[in-house]
Amino acid sequence: MKSNIFLISLTVNKSLYIRTLTNNHLILTHTYTLSPSLDFYGKLSEKPFLLSHSHSLSNQFAMESPSPPSPPPSDNSDADKRLREAEERLRDAIQELQRRQRRAAALHHHQQPPCSPTAGLPPCDHGPDESCIAHAIGNLCQTFLLSYGVRVGIGILLRAFKLVRGQSYASLLDLKQLVSEKDLIVREEACRIGLLFGGFTGSYHGLRCLLRKLRKKETPWNAILAGSVAGFSILALNDSSRRRTLALYLLARVAQCAYNSAKSKNKFHLWGSHWRHGDTLLFALSCAQVMYGFVMRPESLPKSYQDFIQKTGPVAAPVYKAIRENCRGQAVDVASLHAYLSRVGKSEYIKLEEFPSIIPCSIIHPGTNSCLAHQAKATSATFKKTFPLYFSLTFVPFVVLRLHKFTDAPFRTFWFAIKGAVRSTSFLSAFVGIYQAVVCLYRKVASKDHKMLYWISGGIAALSVLLEKKERRRELALYVLPRAVDSLWYILVNRHLLPDIRNAEVFLFSLCMGGIMYYLEYEPETMAPFLRGLIHRFLASRISNPSPPPNPTYLQKLDSFTKTKLQERREIELPEKYNLESIPGL
């Protein structure tokens, strides 16, 4: 099989080399010198990128040393991971080059003679044929549709799983059951999410253009001000607890970017940040607070989060209420507990007291006398209940946001979605099983309950996150951290240790979005790849594929050539132009 290989390398002197090889034979070499001010690429100069293309395989990226290509690794999963990482790194490099060139163009416009009609006005991100208003509205509509589509798609897929589980596969063909207004209540939520993301994107682009014209210069403050004002789109959500959760999540992300920025400049280094499992420790501390809040202070968690934990776990709500009352030294609601035990047919065999020393295992899991059997059953039931959710969250966003990749390899995408869902579901199932095991084990050795047991149990159960991939652990830790802080914040405010500021989450979200957009525009390497990719692909989808300005330097023709006799003998057809956008996958 004959294949073309494009070896793309970025050297220390900012020269971009694109070498074309066929079956390891050098055919053509193109050299392109980048701007000498692009210090961002110094980090990429150590290793070049390899792009391999064959007529029967899809294009992929892999890291390659300057020496001749080595044999492919035996572990396909590791190779695919390196290919994807290299692709993301090259895409980020191209986007950073665009930003640097726009800033250079802005400086050039600012230094134009006063008689020039565009003197002092930096160019906007959009093309010259598109007005600023049309650009902002286009981004608003596009992001609204993407956000709306993702939320509705997740709802439809979850409804499909429910129909298959309760009825039959034939019920999926009945659109009345699948997407009826009675059973699929996601329209309002989908619209609110669309207005949040679409409103932010459209407002941000519009404000950036307005600030360029008013201030007549491009500075980091433009991104900060535009992001902060556009952040008020959070008001599209009418649930203050959800707004608070999002604001705290962004606060954690801004803190992460600020720390990475300070660390890269040798200004600040947090003790323990080099730990291999620091993300696991953060996740454990966050889960400990969340599980403590769920058992002892359920009102400190959002209602939706309470419902998710309750439905995922095997313990009934009346039992948690009895445990909470017992730990506080209050009388246990015997009537509520008796009604629950009657429903499961165990009320005649269990003695109930108003002031027990501890709620026994026979009440926590009345369906079986064996704690081990209870934990195994809880783990299995959790897997069955949560797999559809994780599969929907993995599959639907990928299809909506990366439709071209899905159409190129649908079965591969489906397989990766299943594999990712199985891994994540296994982690959550193990979490539930370990948590129940610690609670039951404590009752074997202690005679009096203590509220800190449920904090410690959450921390120990969080070790199940080690089943997830390394990069996924960091994302999970930063996902749970805002909920833990939210719970702790509520408890401290309730105890009058912190002031209660109305709508504080709106202003916090606004300020955090200003910081996020600054780091995205000016220090993207400090941002987590997941968040950076999400903003490029989702929140600001047109940023990731901006309309190129006229005659962009980085997309100029690198060289033009004619077919040589050597090429004709090898039956290779080469394009007349090479540019970075012609590489499939970018």
Q: For residue 19, how many C-alpha atoms fall within 13 Å in the half-sphere facing its CB?
A: 15
Question: Please, which residues have CB within 8 angstroms of residue 538's CB and are 6 or more apart in sequence?
Answer: 143, 146, 147, 197, 401
Q: Which two tokens stand for residue 182?
A: 């009675």
Report how far residue 578's alpha carbon sits from residue 586's, in angstroms, rounded to the nearest whole number: 14
Helix (H, G, I), strand (E, B) or coil at 211: helix
Query: Could you tell me the CA-to-CA distances from 442 to 127, 302, 310, 350, 460 in Å, in that order?
Result: 66, 28, 21, 20, 13
Report how far residue 463's alpha carbon sits from residue 430's, in angstroms, rounded to the nearest whole number: 9
Query: Could you tell me the CA-to-CA distances from 428 to 249, 278, 372, 375, 432 in Å, in that order?
Result: 21, 20, 18, 13, 6
Question: Please, which residues have CB within 8 angstroms of residue 570's CB and are 6 or more apart in sequence?
Answer: 2, 22, 23
How distant is the alpha carbon of residue 223 from its chain centre? 22
User: Where exactly are the structural domains of the chain?
Assistant: 3-112+557-582, 132-267+511-544, 278-315+365-500
Q: Which two tokens stand for residue 341?
A: 């035990």
Predicted confidence at residue 101, as pLDDT, reads: 64
Q: pLDDT tens-digit profile of 523-569?
A: 888 888 878 877 877 655 444 444 444 333 333 333 443 344 444 44
Helix (H, G, I), strand (E, B) or coil at 169: helix
Beta 25-33 vs 60-63: how paired, if at all?
A: unpaired
Under 8 Å between Cβ of 280 and 480: no
Q: Rounded to the nearest 5 degrees, what angle is found at the Cα of 362, between the Cα atoms of 357 and 365?
A: 120
The share of the chain scoring above pLDDT 70, in percent, equals 67
Packed helices 187-215 and 220-230: angle between N→C axes, nearest 10 degrees: 150
Question: Please, which residues have CB within 8 angstroms of residue 335's CB and are 6 or more apart in sequence?
Answer: none
Q: pLDDT tens-digit profile of 263-292?
A: 888 776 655 556 778 889 999 999 999 999
Report how far residue 444's alpha carbon sits from residue 447's, in angstroms, rounded to the nearest whole number: 8
Predicted confidence at residue 114, as pLDDT, reads: 47
State the amino acid at position 281 in one-letter form. L
- The list of the chain residues with pLDDT below 50 reads 1-74, 110, 113-119, 541-586
